C-alpha cells in the first residue's frame, strides 16, 4: 500500500513493487507505506527512511529518523536506531527514532535493547501486550539511558492488520477484547 510520496531506492514506489535486502524505503510528509519482506510486515509512517541492510540476523534494518511499526516472523534480527541496537526474535515493535532519543514499544514477545551510549545498561524486555514501552536516550550525561514511557502512536488494529498480511494473529488477539 502506498499513500503520498513513497520511494524505494529513490524511485517512486508503487503497489506490488518488490522490496528486498539492500533497499531503502522512504516516506515524505503526509505519506505512509505498508509492505512485506519475507515473513515480516511493516507500516512506515511519514518522514521515515528505513535501510534494509541484509537478510542476516546481525543487521536487518537501520532507521536514522522516523516511525515504523513492524511484525516479524521467527528468527533473530538486529534493528539499529540512532540510540540503540535492538535484538528481536519473532515479535512486533513500534519505533520512533530520532538522534537524541528513540521511542521503543515491544508490543509482544522478547527483545534485547542495548543503548549505544551505555552498552552496560542492556536490558532484556519481555512483554505480552505493550507492557514496557521505553525511551532510549543518546545523551551520555544521563545516568539512565532507558526510561519508561506510555504507549503512543500505534494500535492493536494495526498490529492485527500486519500480522494478518502474514497469515498470523498477534498473541493477545481475543484476550483483550480488541477485534479487527
Other C-beta atoms closer than 10 Å to the C-beta of 43 total 21
Tell me if the pTM is above 0.85.
yes
C-alpha–C-alpha distance, residues 44 and 41, integer Å: 10
Q: In the chain, what percentage of residues exceed pLDDT 70?
A: 94
Which of 100, 106, 64, 68 is closest to 86 using CA atoms? 106
Q: What is the pLDDT of residues 143-152, one digit of tens each?
A: 788 999 999 9
Strand bridging mode 76-81 / 61-63: parallel
pLDDT band of residue 55 (cuts 50, 70, 90) is low
Distance CA 34, CA 25 (A): 11
HEC string for 96-107: EECCCEEEEEEE
Give residue-wise pLDDT tens across range 75-130.
899 999 999 999 998 899 999 999 999 999 999 999 999 999 999 999 999 999 99
Q: Say if CB 51 and CB 69 are below 8 A apart.
A: no
Please give the average per-residue pLDDT across 16-25, as a whole number. 92
Closest by CA position to 173, among listed 135, 133, 128: 128
Mean pLDDT of 166-170: 94
Identify which has the larger pLDDT, 118 or 180.
118
What angle (nearest 5°) sits at the alpha carbon of residue 119, between those of residues 117 and 120?
120
| Confidence (pLDDT) at 5 | 98
**E strand or H helix at 159, and its extent?**
helix 156-165
Average pLDDT, the chain: 92
Residue 32: band (very low, low, confident or very high) from pLDDT cuts 50, 70, 90: very high
Residues 124, 156, 148, 26, CA torsion sign: positive
Yes or no: say if 88 and 104 are a contact pair by the CB < 8 Å rule.
Answer: no
pLDDT at 175 over 70: no
Amino acid at each position: 500500500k502506498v499513500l503520498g510520496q513513497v520511494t524505494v531506492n529513490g524511485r517512486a514506489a508503487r503497489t506490488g513493487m518488490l522490496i528486498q535486502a539492500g533497499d531503502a524505503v522512504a516516506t515524505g510528509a503526509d505519506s505512509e507505506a505498508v509492505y512485506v519482506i519475507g515473513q515480516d510486515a511493516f507500516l512506515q509512517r511519514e518522514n521515515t527512511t528505513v535501510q534494509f541492510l541484509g537478510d542476516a540476523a546481525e543487521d536487518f534494518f537501520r532507521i536514522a529518523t522516523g516511525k515504523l511499526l513492524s511484525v516479524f516472523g521467527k528468527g533473530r534480527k538486529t534493528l539499529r536506531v540512532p540510540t540503540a541496537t535492538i535484538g528481536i526474535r519473532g515479535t512486533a515493535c513500534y519505533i520512533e527514532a530520532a538522534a537524541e532519543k528513540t521511542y521503543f514499544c515491544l508490543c509482544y514477545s522478547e527483545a534485547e535493547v542495548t543503548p549505544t551510549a551505555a552498552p552496560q545498561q542492556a536490558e532484556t524486555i519481555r512483554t505480552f501486550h505493550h507492557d514496557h514501552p521505553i525511551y532510549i536516550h543518546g545523551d551520555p550525561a544521563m545516568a539512565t539511558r532507558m526510561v519508561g514511557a506510555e504507549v503512543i502512536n500505534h494500535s492493536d488494529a494495526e498490529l492485527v492488520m500486519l500480522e494478518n498480511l502474514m497469515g498470523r494473529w498477534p498473541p493477545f488477539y481475543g484476550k483483550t477484547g480488541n477485534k479487527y
